[in-house]
Amino acid sequence: MNNLPPIISPAALAEALAGTANILVIDLGNPERFAEAHISGSVYLDYASITRSDAPAAGLVASEDTLSEVFSALGLTNDTHVVACDDAGNGKAARLCYTLDCIGHQNWSLLDGGIPAWQADGFELSDQASPLLPSNYQATYAEGPMWTAEQILQHIHNDDFITLDARSADEYSGLDVKAANGGHIPNAAHYEWTRAMDIGRQKRLRSVDELRDELEAAGLNPNKQIVAYCQTHHRSAYSYVMLKYLGYKRVAGYPGAWSDWGNNDNLPVEV
């Protein structure tokens, strides 16, 4: 097992790739860009292959059988350390990290800043395709990372529980309605996902100390059980990875997110 952090810098990844570690870089960015320029040895993964929909809920975790097939095709083994990246803010890449947690595969890292940061730091890209060596990976859901609306409803008024809403301020307040109902889950803390990013540095993670202060000010105490959500748990998957990197121990995600909660008239909503 590799001792790599949940969020890894381009330099640290380059050093790890130069060694003997069992690392698989998985790129979930634009497929046309990937065909022309990608990290040498990396493989491409279509984001849609690791999610599913059950209308109106979207962004659900793909089935165990589907994930087994997808990860076997990429050659994943239980000992493989996955480094996920994309070229558009790392939302898709973070969702892959979250998905791996959902099946108990905890050997993963997110490339800080993604492909733009890799290039900005002077590391080369390749146009050479890497051969896939299929495996027989068996994906089985793990308890903990995936929370449902029913679970949230049961804990919503507990002092040691809080949800993190990673959507925009207008979505949170109900001004921007993207479901049957607008607003947010009662008592949810609002921390829009891109607040954690340094936009001027290829959207890399900002100062750890600043983030900890901001999260605590928002009510996101590291001792609480935190469940992150957005519209389809794409943006909030990044929030999930950020919290894990910061050392938060009790972190989960709500895959159906607002597309599930906001379309259920039987669930409470705050605006």
Query: Which residues carry out catalysis?
Result: 230
Residue pair 7/64 in contact by the 8 Å Cβ criterion:
no
Distance CA 155, CA 157 (A): 6
Contact residues for 171 (Cβ-Cβ < 8 A; gap 6+): 165, 178, 182, 184, 231, 258
Contact residues for 31 (Cβ-Cβ < 8 A; gap 6+): 44, 46
User: Which of 229, 239, 225, 226 has the alpha carbon at shortest distance from 262?
Assistant: 229
The structure tokens 């100390």 sit at 209
Contact residues for 70 (Cβ-Cβ < 8 A; gap 6+): 45, 49, 50, 62
